[in-house]
Chain A
Amino acid sequence: MSHPNKKRYDAIIIGGGHNGLTCAAYLARAGRSVLVLERRHVLGGAAVSEELHPGFTFSVCSYVVSLLRPHIIRDLNLAAHGLSILPLDCSFLPLPNGDSLARWGDAERTRREVARFSQRDSECLGEFGLAMTQLCRFAKRIIDEPAPDPTSLDPRQWKQLYRLARQLGGDPTDLRWLHYKLLTMSAVDFLDLWFESDTLKAPMSVSGIIGTFLGVRSPGTAYVLLHHYMGEIDGAFRAWGFSKGGTGGVSMAIARSAEAFGAEIMSSAAVDRVLVHDGRASGVVLQNGDEIAAEAVISSVDPNRTFLKMVGEEHLDADFTRSIQRYKLRGSSGKVNLAVDRLPEFSCRPGAGPHLQGDIAIAPSIDYLERAYDEAKYGAYSKRPYLNVVIPSLVDPSVAPPGKHIISCFVQYAPYDLKEGAADWPNQREAFGDAVVDTLAEYCPGLKESILYRQVLTPWDLEKEFGLTEGNIFQGELSHEQLLFLRPTAGYANYRTPIDRLWSCGSGTHPGGGLMGAPGELAAKTLLQSREL
């Protein structure tokens, strides 16, 4: 699509995903002229709703809203622009032996369920929740601020580090020890500090490996357990839930907000590369050849794609290129989206109860999860994978015709690098989809017969369709060596890049992936504070 006027914008944002749109909204709100360019025909990136089958609106990739920052919701008036988050109040675990465990927002109800598996664990739940809430306080400061660089001599960085140290310094020794353990232990080992029951630990530990190429027993996976508890301290705004209209509803609300502030948004406008002259960005070139000029270019696309494809090695020094080449992307997840003609019936807890209105985990034991991981390590998708399943139509009837439903299955592990090579994914796609359906059908007999439509997204598809290099849903692994001041690489974790006037605002920057909006917001604020715009 050809660009009609030869306008020069203050900022061009590459990618209309939720971070790009958030960045655009904040810049437009500050009076800057902003153009967002989205390659696909719909906005949202991986936070997108699409009617893939008549009458059924799928949250194609991202399927729950996690940790969308409350101050972003307020600043951008997202509620007025259609954001509506519906409660996700249950985590249901069906078990192969016909038993099941449901954990609820209601602590007492959860305690009773857990007590059936372990009396001791049910009594420790409260203590665990309290400890996690305390640990969250520190983590919350980390995600809501740019990451300080301890190798910097800049006094402002040191002031920020000092404030963080002061906060830690207010904690008793035991809590500090827990912080240390949380950051370094595996999810299972950390849970072992409180709990004994495998049935409880398995579904709890699994949040530690979402989007990683690690297992629940791998060191470094414990800290992600905080995610679940972060929402509770965000206050009045519910941070965990379903977005009405699918997760695309979040992106669309942000897009409307951005437009209300004056931003322009174009879809079906694929950017080919950034215009760079003498180490300085001056605009972009679309795939159709059109050039658009801007004072600043902000990429919400992952670091690999931004620097190695859109900028090009010729404009970057060898050390930086090497650091981006070794930035780990290794996608490990897939998605299977189903339209079904009736509500699935779980044989272990039959009926359309509230237990189906949250998320459903196929994670019957820690060994099961580790075996799923083992297969992926050597280049194969898990034949019996971990699934995180939601039936959004139960909570949001607008996404499916009456009586019919959407079943959204997040799957791990599906490694991008198959031993036959990533390009073999199209050959393995259907078998991978079958493995997912077969696994779920073990718990819901009758599932297969009810399927009206099936979409299978492998890491290869995530890359080709959504621009996520190697299918990594967080635009880069959330492992310690590429987090905080090292994300995506040392020296460029503060949204700047080696190219003057080129900035980053996607999940490949601090604080990383998930539907937080924080990278987009922090990038915009940092850019505005720099006074370069």
Chain B
Amino acid sequence: MRRYDEIVVGAGVNGLIAATRLAMAGHNVLLVDQASHVGGRSYGHRFHEGFSSPGLLSDTSGLRPQVLHELGLTLKRAPQRRAPVTLTPEGLRPVDAEAWQRWQRWIDSVAPVIGDFLDDPPLDLLHPERVPLRQLADRGWELRKLGRNKMRELFRVPPMSAADWLEEWFEHPADRAAIAAEALAGSWLAPRSPGGAFSVLLQRVADSGAILGGTTALIDALNLQARRAGVSFQLDSKVARLRIDGDAVRGVEFVDGESVASSKVLSTVAPNRTMLDWLPVALLPYPVRRRYEAWRCRGTTAQLLLALSQPPSQLATADGPTEFTQTALHPDDIERAFDAVKYRQRSERPVLLVQNASASCPQLAPAGQAVLSVLIHYAPHDLEGGWTDESCEALRDATVELLEERLPGLRASIVAEQLLDPHEIERRYGLPGGQIHHGEQALDQLLIRPEPEALHYRTVVDGLWLGGSGSHPGGSLTGAPGRLASAAMLFN
């Protein structure tokens, strides 16, 4: 039987980063994935001859700078952060520049502390007696340096709703909608939901500028670096269960029956899938098992990929084509769209996050043509009646109708398309519930993620580690969990 120091399951961004770091430290690492390609949710599949998706998670602006630095990736980033843009019936509306600058200054001022949340091993808030005094002092000092007012704001803001917090900074409802739509995408939160402000804050602090070349460039660079570091790859290999030796995990077993041994396994796959599907029932004590059973993964996203004969003219501006826009004109548009999900319906008037993907990544489409990736919110995974052909068609029609309203002429330019409903998203990317972040992002699943005894990436099961989006600090495209998990494994 083949034997490695570590097996990393899931070759998405987190898996690639973790495997590379372990290999760079001289370990013998095997990186496995059920797909025939690497990249996970950021891999862009070809959906029509000549046209490729940018991936499901295709906004690279949150990728932690430390990842690029520590892995020695030579990628360039856009010089500026992207201010959200609303696609109104009258055309593009960027957020109010003056309000944006003012807010950005505040964001920048608290970024050192929120940055710690993203880049440092998490603080074990539930076991303050275990927190090393040094870590507590460092983080406390960072917080204190902000001054008392900012400290108080950092207690006040996170539990707020996105709507309430943004109302303190932005007068125009479309501006508030644009910021909220991006931050709450894929969650089970609406603008009025408490705790949404924390998601907004995290996203804005994490924004370090888009990577030039988009997800394609990122995945290619990660892939190359992993190979250079000596990571072994095994694709087209779906894990059936973890290999158990006594009470410990010592490798994986694939669905085709093959087994591979290792001292440790790092799973970057959703935590409930790892702990509940891949382990024998008796191995987890009941209280721990219950936490994974309670892990909420209600997916609310569908994706419509459009191959266009030409890029929409309305998205072209004097400064170049706009890549990311959204369609909500008021936070209540998002709120109403979300209401439907509570009753297991799809939004009659969805909120669309529209990415003009080929604008930043020309190889996604033939010359002169375009790829539009539309993330549709909210489309509940547990739709009443299920995602039948009829319901998929109704969703698609509602989406295209709204797009045509904002981008007249779009419909006529559609060459081909593909709709990924929440079940398709679940199947294609291995996401329980079709939840794009491996677990809902809300305060109750973000501060201690996924559960107190896996907070520092090591689980209660000897040899098993978690380090994907379902771990600290969460699921957007940051690379932070993979980075921190592998660091924790090396430190051990």
Contact = CB atoms under 8 A, between A and B. Distances in A.
B442 A219 contact: yes
Nearest to A216: B342
Given A184-B443, A481-B159, A219 B194 contact: yes
Interface in A146-181: 150-151, 165, 168-169, 173-174, 176-177, 179-181
A200 to B, nearest CB: 17
A176 B194 contact: no
Given A151-B151, A180-B448, A165 B128 contact: yes
B192 interface: yes
A317 to B, nearest CB: 12
A343 B418 CA distance: 62
Interface in B409-444: 442-444
B351 to A, nearest CB: 16
A192 B290 CA distance: 11
Given A219-B194, A481-B156, A378 B332 contact: yes
A322 B151 CA distance: 18
Contacts of A177: 126, 291, 448, 451-452
Given A177-B448, A180-B126, A480 B159 contact: yes
A169 B128 contact: yes
A184 B442 contact: yes
Contact of A486 (B127, B156, B290): B156
Interface in B446-477: 447-448, 451-453
A345 interface: no
Interface string A410-446: 0000000000000000000000000000000000000
B453 A214 contact: no
Contact of A184 (B128, B192, B195): B195
Contacts of A378: 332, 336
Given A177-B448, A367-B343, A218 B193 contact: yes
A374 interface: yes
B128 A219 contact: no
Contacts of B287: 173-174
A208 B442 CA distance: 18
A64 B157 CA distance: 33
A180 B447 contact: yes
A151 B152 contact: yes
A491 B152 contact: yes
A220 B343 CA distance: 20
A219 B444 contact: yes
A527 B287 CA distance: 46
A169 B444 contact: no
B195 A151 contact: no
A121 B358 CA distance: 53
A328 interface: yes
Contacts of A480: 159-160, 194
Contacts of B194: 214, 218-220, 479-480
B453 A173 contact: yes
Nearest to A483: B159
Contacts of B447: 180, 184
B342 A217 contact: yes
Interface string A243-287: 000000000000000000000000000000000000000000000
Q: Which of B168, B195, B342, B443 has the most CB of A within 10 A?
A: B342
B273 interface: no
B444 A486 contact: no
B491 interface: no
Interface in B335-380: 335-336, 339, 342-343
A193 interface: yes
A374 B444 contact: no
B148 A151 contact: yes
Nearest to B195: A219
Given A151-B148, A374-B339, A192 B294 contact: yes
B453 A481 contact: no
Q: Which of A184, A218, A367 has the most CB of B within 10 A?
A: A184
A220 B195 CA distance: 8
B308 interface: no
B168 A481 contact: no
A302 interface: no
B256 interface: no
A181 B444 contact: yes
Interface string A319-363: 000000010100000000000000000000000000000000000
B164 A328 contact: yes
A173 B452 contact: yes
Contact of A169 (B129, B155, B453): B129
Given A184-B195, A218-B194, A219-B194, A486 B443 contact: no
Contact of A150 (B155, B157, B296): B155
B189 interface: yes
Interface in B129-166: 129, 148-149, 151-152, 155-157, 159-160, 164
Contacts of A486: 152, 155-156
A422 to B, nearest CB: 18
Interface in A480-513: 480-481, 485-486, 490-491
A370 interface: yes
Nearest to A374: B339
Q: Which 9 A-B residue pairs are closest in the complex by CB-CB distance?
A: A480-B159, A184-B444, A490-B152, A220-B194, A151-B151, A176-B126, A174-B287, A184-B443, A185-B444
6 contacts: A173-B127, A177-B291, A219-B442, A219-B443, A220-B443, A378-B332
Given A165-B128, A168-B128, A491-B152, 13 more contacts: A165-B129, A169-B129, A180-B452, A185-B444, A192-B294, A218-B192, A219-B195, A219-B442, A219-B444, A367-B343, A371-B343, A479-B194, A490-B155
